[in-house]
Amino acid sequence: MKQWNISYLDKDGVQQSHVMESEELPSDEKAAQRLRHILVPVADELDMNDLDGRIAEPTAKSLKEHNAVQIISIKEVF
C-alpha cells in the first residue's frame, strides 16, 4: 500500500498535511472525504452533504465552502 501526503489549508489559512494509504493516487474527492472524517467528524457522521450526486467532488466543495479547508496537493511519500 502506498502512502500519500495530502497538503491542505486549514480554516485559519495555515498549511497542514495528512498522510493516507491507498494503492493509487487518491482523487481530491477521496482526500476530502478522509480529511472531513478527521477534521469535521460530526459532519462526516451526519453526512449533511446535500450536494452529493448533483455536482463533481461534493465533499471537496463542501469542505472549502463550509469549513474553509482547501486541498492544495496530493503527492506520494517515498
Strand partners, 21: 3
pLDDT value for 3: 98
pLDDT band at 9 (very low <50, low <70, confident <90, very high): very high
Q: Is the predicted pLDDT of residue 8 greater than 80, yes or no?
A: yes
Cα–Cα dist 47/77, whole Å: 30
- Any idea where the domains of the chain sit in the sequence? 2-76
Helix-then-strand count for the chain, H and E: 3, 3
